[in-house]
Structure 1
C-alpha cells in the first residue's frame, strides 16, 4: 500500500484522467452513493458528468477539484465550488466527496476535506456548506470535522437503487 497524495486537478488534468474519474464515480454510484444519479448508470454517464458539469466550471475558474491518489490509482475526489454571487463571496460549497469502495477506511475522505478547507481559507472563504443523505456514512465524518447540522429536508432525492424511495438530506455548514 502506497502513501496517499492529494493534488488539485486542472481542466487539462481532468481531461487526461477522464476514464479513471469516470470509473471512480461509476463505482461509487454502484456501491450506493447518493450523489445525484440513479440506476441504470453506466461508465459513459459518469464520464459525461465530468465532461459536462465539472470541466466547464474548472475552466471558468469557479471550482477546484482535489484528487487523492495511491500510486497511479485515483482513490477519491472532492470539489470546492466557490462560484458564488457577489453577496456570498465569503462562502463556498463542498460537492461530490467520493472515495472508491476499494480505498475506503484509510482516512482519504478526511484528508480530502482537510485539503479542501485549506484552500477555502486561502480563498478567504469563511463558511462552507454541503448536503449529504441523512444517515449516510459521510454524515458522522462531517460532524467529526466540525460541520454542524442546519436541518434535514425529507424526501429530497430518489434513492440510487430504489426508484420508489425518496431519501432525506442533511444540510450542514462549517465556519472556518
Structure 2
C-alpha cells in the first residue's frame, strides 16, 4: 500500500464509478465494528444499495462526497458533507460516514478527510457543521483535535454492528 494519499471531491458525473470501491470500504468498517448505521452481517447488496443512493444524492447536489485514494487508485477512506438542509438552516451542513479501511488507519487519512470536509463546507457557504460518533471511539479524539466542540452524549443511542447498544457523542464546529 502506497503512502502517497490524495483526498479529493468525487464529482456528480463520476460518483457511480466509485460505488463498488466505497461498498468495500463500508463493508470493511462495519465488519471491523464501526457503528455507522449498519448491522452484521452486512451484505454486498446492502452496501451497494447505500452507495447508489449516495451517488444519486451527489448528482442532485445534496451532498459532497470526498474520497482518500492511494496512488494506485485504491479507495482507503471517505466522508460526506450533507449540504442540503432545511430552509431555516442554509448555513449548516452535516458530516456523515467518515470511514477509513482498517488496513490504512493511523496514517492521518481521517484527519485529512475531515480537513477536506471543512474546506468543502466553506466552499458551499456553510458556517456551522454538526456530526455524531460512537462515544469512546478513536473518531471522538480525532474530532476534538480538529477543533470540534462536544455538545453532549446520548446513552443507548444506537446499536453497534453486533447488536450491542452504544452511546453517541454529538459535536459541532463553527467555521471561520
Aligned-pair RMSD on alpha carbons?
1.0
Runs of 4+ in 1 over 3 A off after TM superposition: none
1:11 alignment counterpart: 12
| Structure 1 stretch displaced more, 113-122 or 2-11 | 2-11
2:34 alignment counterpart: 33
What is the number of residues matched between the two proteins? 173
Q: Normalising by the residue count of structure 1, what TM-score does the alignment of the two structures yield?
A: 0.95
Distance in 1 between the 2:32 and 2:44 partners?
A: 14
1:169 alignment counterpart: 168
Per-residue deviation, 1:56 = 2.2
Structure 2, gaps ≥5 residues long: none
1:148 alignment counterpart: 149
For the residue of structure 2 that corresponds to 1:32, the secondary structure is coil
Deviations 1:24-80 (A, max 9, x none): 11001001111000111122211111012x122111111000000002100100000
- List aligned pairs for 1:1-176, cutoff 5 A: 1-52=2-53, 54-71=54-71, 72-161=73-162, 163=163, 165-176=164-175
Per-residue deviation, 1:87 = 1.1
Q: Normalising by the residue count of structure 2, what TM-score does the alignment of the two structures yield?
A: 0.95
